[in-house]
Structure formats: C-alpha cells, structure tokens
Structure 1
Amino acid sequence: MTLPFRLATSLLMAMPMLVSGAPATAEEFAGAIERAHGIDAWRSHRAVEASIEVIFGGETRLHGVMTFETQSMRVRIDQHSGTRLVFDGDRAWVSPGTADFDSARFHLLTWPYFLAVPFKLRDPGTHIELSGERDLGGVPHPTARLTFDPGVGDAPDDWYLLYRDPGSDLLHAMAYIVTYYGRPAEGEEEVHAIVYDGCVDFEGVTLSTRWRFHDWSEAEGIRGDPIGHVRITRLRFVDPPAGFFDRPADAREDPLPAR
C-alpha cells in the first residue's frame, strides 16, 4: 500500500468522527443552534407574532397575542382579558392603568426571550462556554453555559445551560435561574429547566411551540413532573405599524424591582 493511499484511507476513516462529533468550540456550538433554527431568515424580518398561553401551578398566568421585534426586542402582549402589556425598549407599561396585573415587565421580557433564545446566544455582552454532555431522555446532549456581563439586561446574574439536540442541532432544553427580583442566591436554590418540543417550520425559521417546565439540579439534571407549560400557536412574521410599541395613553408603568 502506497503512502498516499494509506494517508487517504486514514483521513476517510477519521471523517465520521469529525462530522458527527460535538462542536469543538463554544462558537461552533452556538453557530450550530443558530443555523438549525434559521437565523438568517429570522434576521430578515422585523417582528414576529404568536398566540401564547402560560400555565403554572394549574393557573393561567398569561393568555393572549405576543408581538415582538426580532432585533430590538420591543414587545407588546394583548391579553384576551383586555389588558395590554407593552415594553417600549426601555420601560414597561400596563393598560389600562387600573388593570390587576403584576410583574408585567418580567412577563414582557421573559417569554419573548425564551422563544427567541436560539438567536440570542451571541448578543453583545453574552458569554458561552462548553459544559460537556448531559443526559436528556436517555440521550447524551452536548451542553453549554450562557452568562452575561454586568449591566446586561434586567438580570445579568442569570445563567442558562443549553442542551443541543445531537441529531438536529436544535435547542432541546435549557436550565436557568431567575434573578430578576434581585436575589441571586435564591435563584441558585431554585433552578428550573424548559424542555422544548413541538417544533414547527415557518418562513425558513424553526421554533418550539410546546414548552414543559421542570425542576433541575446539577446532580440529576431535568427531573420530576412538569411544573408549568407554555403553548405557542399561530406563529408568523409581521410588520407592525408606527406607534405599535408606544406607551398606551391610559397606561401605568411597571418598573424594574428595587435592588
């Protein structure tokens, strides 16, 4: 056997390992998820609209139509109850001002982020670090940890652990903590996870329409029965008119909690 032939054979034998192996760097990990979800198509549209229903503890916490920009993340949620929530890019508003709805700013920033997170992995001020393989449903999944610079967003102490599906490269699950209310230590004690199911394709983008929320621990990973659900329907890209994300005339502000 000649040397060139032996070299070519060795390369061919190694190729499956190179193709099927986990991403070698965090950038490759993020890029694989972005491509699988259709980041180029996502960026080509101004805003996305979807019906959303959020259920925790057997109670409906949010039910309506959510519209948000794909880049700047201005958000509007028109609830079926008649209450309107708006994040104008800086401040959160509840309309009418007499509406009994708490934590509007949290809801406005959380659910759009959880839907769009495959496209947010390399935003300014983010850091992603490989975290090895972890089991999900009996299948080892490559994972990576997402963190933020101080001052990024409302809760820069949050972190996310991303589970990349080894077959499709889609984001399959995500563990996370909530420090929005200014208590990082408590957030570390109550870690939860989303399992993303029911992916649909629309206009070149793939997103999950059924989310299950579970408890999560470093030792056990995703565990126990679901503690909450989110259902997404009627996904479509839209071009909202001028003033769509402005403060409603009769609104009250829902400020960031005091730290």
Structure 2
Amino acid sequence: MKFKSLILVLLVVFSCKDKVVETVNYSEENLDITTSVYPENINRVFDAHGGLDKWNEMQSLIFTMPSEDGNEITTTNLKSRESLIDMPKHTIGFNGSNVWMHKKDTTSYRGNPKFYYNLMFYFYAMPFILADDGIVYTDVEPLDFEGNSYPGIKISYESGVGESPDDEYILYYDEETYRMVWLGYTVTYFSKEKSKEFHFINYSDWQTVDGLLLPETLTWYNYEDNKPTTKRNDLKFTNIILSKQKIKPEAFTKPDSALIIE
C-alpha cells in the first residue's frame, strides 16, 4: 500500500511539472478599459467626438469667446482644473484651492466669480467632461424636437462631488451618428437644492481640433415643461488650443491686488 501511494504521489508531482502556466505581460498589452468603465451609449458618444483616450492625452485647453465688449479668454489645466478667465475689465482665476478676482479698473463685476469660473469650460468641454469621477449614468426618455427624437443619458453626481453635487445634466444624442445634439442642465449653486427645471443648449455646430470634435457655437434655447422651445442666443468659440503640455501653475497665481472669493 505504501509503495502504491508513493507511485501515486510521484505521478502527481511529475504531472504538475509538465504543465506550463502561460503568463501575460499586461504592461505590453493594449487594453481598452474605457468600455468596462462607462455605459455603452455614452462610450459611443465619446467615440463619435474623437474618443476619450485622445481627450485624456490632452493637458490644457484655451478658448476665446468674442463679444462686443471684448474677448474673453479661458485657460484651463484639464487634470487639475486650474483656470484663468481673462476679460477686458476683470480676471477670474482658480489656483487649485481658491477662486480669486482681479479688477483692472473701477468697474464692478456683475456676476458671481465662484459660480462662473468653470461654467463655460464645463459647457465647452462636453461631452468629455461627463467622464469625470463620481458620475452616475441613467437612460431617460428621448427628447422629441421638430420631428426628431434624441435618446437621452441623465448624469447625476455622487454626494460631495464638486461645488454643486445636486446639479443634473441630460445629454441627448443623434441615434445614428452618436454625436451630441442637446444638453439639458439644472442650476443648484444658489439654492443648494435639487431642481426639476432644466435649461437647454443646442450643440449642432462642431469643429475638429487635434482629432477631437469640439463646439464652434453653442445655442441657448427658451424652455417650457422641461423641453426647448425657441432659440434665444448664440455663443461663438474661436482660437481653440488643445495641448499635451500643462500650463505652469504660476499662470493661475493670485495677484497681490486680487481678492479671494469666499
């Protein structure tokens, strides 16, 4: 019995030695993890605009909004979200910790710097901004407008994300091209409470910048019963610069004469 047991053990040992375990060097594999992180429909929207991988290669974004009062130039570090908005009479900055404002003359700023400092960046960086951490995606009813139907994806935020975690967005896209067409959004910064009232922006005018599809014109619409109705106004974007280089932190440093916005 002992002899038979010994033979059995030796057979098992040699059998194990004959097995070759194949290992994979994942550092050399091109793994696409995007599809496992995001729902398929939002992923296809990202792809229709050049792809999230290409967007993530970029480190900084600069755009200009022309107006009768002069140009407004927004500079943003995409990863840290440091930002600078240079206007004819004011400069608003975010250095990663504080929002600050600098007056170039005695003219008072009529808006709220802390609300505004990243507002246009968020609208302009659609749809890629909707890949941020802490987002919950939900399919919603399509938007029907002028005979066309646009599937919708609702974006909400986990508790404690950003200045206004109760904000909600709905991205509506073309069901054939998967390009973004509409953005519905709520504003909760001032009330600090969830809102059921959605505002609407039309995204139909695009430009290609370094292989990425970014807005050339945003069109705000009047709205009723959480649906867009008639056109209200256009906002143009020019001189777009996307770069794989990060803007130096010194560019966002508060000047001595600037005020920190609490």
Task: Confirm or deny a common fold (TM above 0.5).
Answer: yes
1:235 paired to 2:240: yes
By how many angstroms is 1:247 displaced?
A: 1.6
1:191, 1:215 within 8 Å by CA — same for their partners in 2? Answer: no
Q: Which amino acid aligns with 1:212?
A: T
Closer/same/farther in 2, CA of residues 71 and 138 from structure 1, 3 Å limit: farther
Runs of 4+ off more than 4 Å = none
SS in 2 for 1:121: helix
Give the distance between the partners of 2:224 and 2:78, measured in 1 at CA.
32
Closer/same/farther in 2, CA of residues 50 and 122 from structure 1, 3 Å limit: closer
Q: Which amino acid aligns with 2:48?
A: A
1:103, 1:254 within 8 Å by CA — same for their partners in 2? Answer: no
By how many angstroms is 1:121 displaced?
A: 2.1
By how many angstroms is 1:175 displaced?
A: 0.8
Give the distance between the partners of 1:147 and 1:153, measured in 2 at CA.
12
1:49: which partner in 2? 62
1:157 paired to 2:163: no
Give the distance between the partners of 1:225 and 1:149, measured in 2 at CA.
33
Aligned with residue 224 of structure 1, among 217, 221, 230: 230
1:22: which partner in 2? none
By how many angstroms is 1:63 displaced?
A: 4.1
1:64: which partner in 2? 72
Q: Which amino acid aligns with 1:225?
A: K
Deviation digits for residues 126-176 of structure 1 (CA, Å, limit 9, x no counterpart): 101011322133211110111011211111111111101223212111111
Deviation digits for residues 10-51 of structure 1 (CA, Å, limit 9, x no counterpart): xxxxxxxxxxxxxxxx70121011111222222112101110
1:146, 1:161 within 8 Å by CA — same for their partners in 2? Answer: yes
SS in 1 for 2:117: helix
Any stretches of 5+ residues in structure 2 without a counterpart? Answer: 1-37
Give the distance between the partners of 1:161 and 1:108, measured in 2 at CA.
22
Alignment root-mean-square deviation, CA: 2.4
Q: Which amino acid aligns with 2:46?
A: E
1:78 paired to 2:86: yes
2:142: which partner in 1? 133
1:202: which partner in 2? 209
Give the distance between the partners of 1:156 and 1:171, measured in 2 at CA.
23
Q: Which amino acid aligns with 1:158?
A: D
Give the distance between the partners of 1:229 and 1:117, measured in 2 at CA.
16
Closer/same/farther in 2, CA of residues 99 and 154 from structure 1, 3 Å limit: farther
SS in 2 for 1:243: helix
How many matched pairs? 221
1:182: which partner in 2? 191
Between 1 and 2, higher relative CO (CA 8 Å, sep ≥ 6) is seen in 1
1:50, 1:236 within 8 Å by CA — same for their partners in 2? Answer: yes
SS in 2 for 1:120: helix
2:181: which partner in 1? 172
Give the distance between the partners of 1:90 and 1:155, measured in 2 at CA.
16
Give the distance between the partners of 1:224 and 1:176, measured in 2 at CA.
17
